[in-house]
Structure 1
Amino acid sequence: MSKTIFYARVSTSEQTSDHQENQARLAGFDIDEVVADHGTSGVTTNLADRPNGKRLFDMLREGDVLVVRWVDRLGRNYQDVTDTIREFMRRGVIIKTVINRMTFDGSTTDPTQQAVRDALIAFMAATAQAQAEATKEAQKAGIAFHKEASPEKFKGRKPTFDRAAYDQVMALHQAGQGQSAIAKATGLQRNAVIRITGDPLKVDATLTRWGM
């Protein structure tokens, strides 16, 4: 028996895929199973390399329907998206989008219909990648602007200790001293010692940004 599988992807672990599923159900899709990836980039990670995206390649069978909000949920890399859709169509899977209600079906044998379908797939995949690149450039421009307008903001919180204290903490830590003992010896708060010893490279970078 064929199934309708809904695939969702969100870019950060703080986001939820529920709204994508709800949108699909409100659009009239009768979904049998939901597969979702959270905190996964569509630009840098191919569908087959995602924890749950790769499940689709094992789950989908001839006659199944794969529903996605739009093709950018499959990915934002042109080559990966076009390869993925064509692979699923070769298996007899029908791909449908919630937005614009597009349907990609590999069963058609008419060459004109195939050409139109393939051109549309290519266009949508290219648009998804172009949007991702435009967003990235806009973010870079925004960061550059704010760095110039408010440089202190991008330094992070100013450390409550100086380079000498940092070096002293690291020396005692490498000598095997515990965090409480280091705090007592240096006069620093134990939380500061924990922060230094927990991620010394990050703390070193922060000191450098503040010219310390």
Structure 2
Amino acid sequence: MSTFLYARVSTSEQTLAHQQIQAEKAGFAFDHVIADEGVSGVSVSMRERPQGKRLFDMLRAGDVLVVRWVDRLGRNYSDVTETIREFIKRGVVIQTIINGITFDGSTKDPMQMAVRDALIGFLAATAQAQAEATREAQKAGIAHAKAKEDAYRGRKPSFTRQQLETVRNLLTTETRIAEVARVSGLSRQTVYRIQADPEGTEKSLALWDA
């Protein structure tokens, strides 16, 4: 019998070492540490991960698999439930560091089995829900930041750098505004605005990286 720690990190803000230290502080000792780094638990199933596949190959009846929480196995409901059920079917005991939950196939009592399976489903669903909530929060944060940036920059210019240069060049030749507008493809109001505030129009383009 061997004890395995499986760790997974998907971003540079997480560390594998932290998960191992947390497990050791909880009193676990390991014969093997298996870790996938930079791997999404949402889009990459356990069997598709380099070390996840290795874990499937190594685990035997009587082994103990330790994970920080079920979300380290994955953040996809179907993948997590299938992985846990496959391992306990093999006779592997799964233990979580957080909450100290144990999953195994030792019980034959139907009520205990039903409670165990319901808990597996609940925790797997929670892991996926948290991933989806995080993703939505990130989208909202990006949208908010972009909205603030756009508000700071003001209205996007209705003219391009090339059009601005065309207008400037024609205005130096005392070309009539109507003709400047026709050649540049801009409205007369825009041409008047460029003429009246050359510094402001230049700044506006610069803020929009135009």
With the length of structure 2 as denominator, give the TM-score of the two structures.
Answer: 0.71
Instruction: Give the aligned partner of residue 30 of structure 1.
Output: 29
Matched to 2:129, the amino acid is A
Instruction: Give the aligned partner of residue 104 of structure 1.
Output: 103
Please state whether the residue corresponding to 1:34 is helix, strand or coil.
strand
Instruction: Measure the CA separation in 2 of the matches of 1:14 and 1:52.
Output: 20
Deviation at 1:14, TM superposition (A): 6.1
Matched to 1:71, the amino acid is V
Please state whether the residue corresponding to 1:9 is helix, strand or coil.
strand
Q: Assess if the C-alpha contact under 8 Å between 1:68 and 1:96 holds in 2.
A: yes
Instruction: Give the aligned partner of residue 150 of structure 1.
Output: 149
Please state whether the residue corresponding to 1:142 is helix, strand or coil.
helix
Within-5 A mapping of 1:47-196? 47-151=46-150
| Paired-residue identity, % | 67
Instruction: Measure the CA separation in 2 of the matches of 1:142 and 1:121.
Output: 32
Deviation at 1:151, TM superposition (A): 3.7
Please state whether the residue corresponding to 1:52 is helix, strand or coil.
helix
The gaps in structure 1 that reach 5 residues or longer are: 154-161, 164-208
Q: Assess if the C-alpha contact under 8 Å between 1:95 and 1:103 holds in 2.
A: yes
Q: Assess if the C-alpha contact under 8 Å between 1:48 and 1:57 holds in 2.
A: yes
Which string of whole-angstrom CA distances, capped at 9 and with x for unpartnered residues, describes residues 81-135 of structure 1?
0000000011000000000000001121000000000000000000000000000
Instruction: Measure the CA separation in 1 of the matches of 2:38 and 2:13.
Output: 8
Which string of whole-angstrom CA distances, capped at 9 and with x for unpartnered residues, describes residues 163-185 of structure 1?
9xxxxxxxxxxxxxxxxxxxxxx
Q: Assess if the C-alpha contact under 8 Å between 1:3 and 1:32 holds in 2.
A: yes
Q: 1:13 to 1:148 in 2, by over 3 A?
A: closer
Deviation at 1:30, TM superposition (A): 1.6
Deviation at 1:44, TM superposition (A): 0.6
Instruction: Measure the CA separation in 1 of the matches of 2:140 and 2:114.
Output: 38
Q: Over alpha carbons, which structure has the higher Rg? A: 2
Matched to 2:115, the amino acid is V
Q: CA RMSD in A?
A: 1.8
Matched to 1:106, the amino acid is G
With the length of structure 1 as denominator, give the TM-score of the two structures.
Answer: 0.70
TM superposition outliers: structure 1 runs of 4+ over 3 Å: none
Aligned length: 157
Q: Assess if the C-alpha contact under 8 Å between 1:62 and 1:91 holds in 2.
A: yes
Which string of whole-angstrom CA distances, capped at 9 and with x for unpartnered residues, describes residues 140-167 of structure 1?
01111111111499xxxxxxxx99xxxx
Instruction: Measure the CA separation in 2 of the matches of 1:122 and 1:14.
Output: 28
Instruction: Measure the CA separation in 1 of the matches of 2:125 and 2:95.
Output: 18
Deviation at 1:210, TM superposition (A): 4.2
* Residues 1:46 and 2:32 aligned together: no
